[in-house]
């Protein structure tokens, strides 16, 4: 149980760090290394599909491009 709490804390910390940028300008999740394609409206943060499954499963999610357009 404590290992799971530590894992979640580490993932949250890493997610808050600066994203790595690939050569094509796409952003990768610092925790899972996957392309950032989603936006969690509940936590107001950009996430990958694995983040959605693990930490944001019951949150309100939308495609990242749609979130960007709405906030312009």
Tens digits of residue pLDDT in 19-58: 554 445 578 888 898 999 999 999 999 999 999 999 999 9
Q: Is the pLDDT of residue 8 over 80?
A: no
Backbone angles phi, psi at 28, to 5 degrees: -110, 150
Tell me whether residue 25 is exposed, middle or buried, using C-beta atoms within 10 angstroms of its C-beta: 0 to 12, 13 to 18, 19 or more. exposed
Backbone angles phi, psi at 50, to 5 degrees: -70, -40
The kind and range of the H/E element at 64 are helix 64-71
Query: Of 53, 12, 16, 51, which is closest to residue 35 (Cα–Cα)?
Result: 51
Kindly indicate the confidence band of residue 5, based on its pLDDT and cuts at 50, 70 and 90.
confident
pLDDT at 3: 72
pLDDT at 4: 74
pLDDT at 11: 75
3-class SS of residue 6 = helix
């Amino acid at each position: 149980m404590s290992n799971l709490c530590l894992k979640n804390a580490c993932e949250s910390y890493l997610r808050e760090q600066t994203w790595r940028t690939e050569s094509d300008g796409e952003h990768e999740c610092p925790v899972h290394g996957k392309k950032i394609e989603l936006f969690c409206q509940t936590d107001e943060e950009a996430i990958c599909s694995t983040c959605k499954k693990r930490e944001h499963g019951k949150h309100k999610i939308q495609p990242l491009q749609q979130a960007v357009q709405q906030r312009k």
